[in-house]
Amino acid sequence: MTRNNTEDTVALIGAGAIGLSIASAYTRIGAHVVVCGGHTPIERISVTEGEQSRSWPVTHTDDPSAIAGVKTVILAVKAHQTESAASWITAAASPSTTILVAQNGIEHARRVSPYSGESHIVPAIVYLNVERTEPGHALLRRAGDHDLSLPDTPAARHMADELSAGGMRMRLEDDFPRTAWLKLLVNLTANPLTALTGRRAEVIREPGITELARQIMREAQQVAQAEGVHLEPSDVETELDWLMHVPAGSTSSMRQDRLAGKALEYDALTGAVVRAAERHGIDIPANRMILALLAAIRPA
């Protein structure tokens, strides 16, 4: 599959580790990627996976009007940065535009819809473990048997075909809310616990941390059930086991952000669970404690 039509240009809003990895799949099928904004102009993106590194030319712009008319947008800023990306989303928005929302949490459409007009919003659950080592470069590790999960909708199916052709391992989900909550179980533990301890994912294997992670997940499972999403206690053990066997050296975006002195993406994760628990009158002390600790951290 090759894409040569300029109207099929892919706009990348958020050239972090996840955004670079997804954009690289489009470059592999001949797409023209435009990197939107950012502190450092990027003229090439590169991805290293194992012993292999590849790079591709891209275009950088600071002008939102430059992406008017694009048919595909990758929105990969952190959830709490969505509002700051509003001018880019609005500039690209049209009834023929599809926006892939590659963010954590369970509120993808709610965050983006105020700015996206009649665009098609495709929420994505990301399983890639990836680090941005420098502007434009990502170090990619794959875990499990797929990289991205999308809802099984017409817009998502078309996007999944393109990303699959570009080397992404895709899965379409009939029950996307359940998939989102399952991933949230992992993010609720891996992100805060690595950020608070400063250690990589192996910290979850420490006995005391393992038990804390289990409690965080069990509380979230109860909240999901109250929200009408089918999660069982056995799902907690499955996700915890997956987390304890991620590749050596794996890290989290929240840990990287804390080390870099940046604001942390806790509201879309722990904050969302605490808000849902309050709606149903469910006591979740471990998650409340984690939320208080994360909220007390200030960016450098």
Q: How far apart are CA 129 and CA 112, in angstroms?
A: 24
Tokens of 31: 């797409």
State residue 7's pLDDT score.
58
- Does pTM top 0.75 for this prediction? yes
Lowest mean pLDDT among 7-11, 16-20, 226-230, 237-241: 7-11
State residue 4's pLDDT score.
43
Tokens of 93: 């928005």
pLDDT tens for residues 224-255? 999 999 999 999 999 999 999 888 788 898 99
* Average per-residue pLDDT for the chain: 93
pLDDT at residue 144 greater than cutoff 80: no
State residue 300's pLDDT score.
76
Q: Are 288 and 123 in contact (CB under 8 A)?
A: no
Q: What is the sign of the dihedral through the CA atoms of 236, 238, 240 and 246?
A: negative
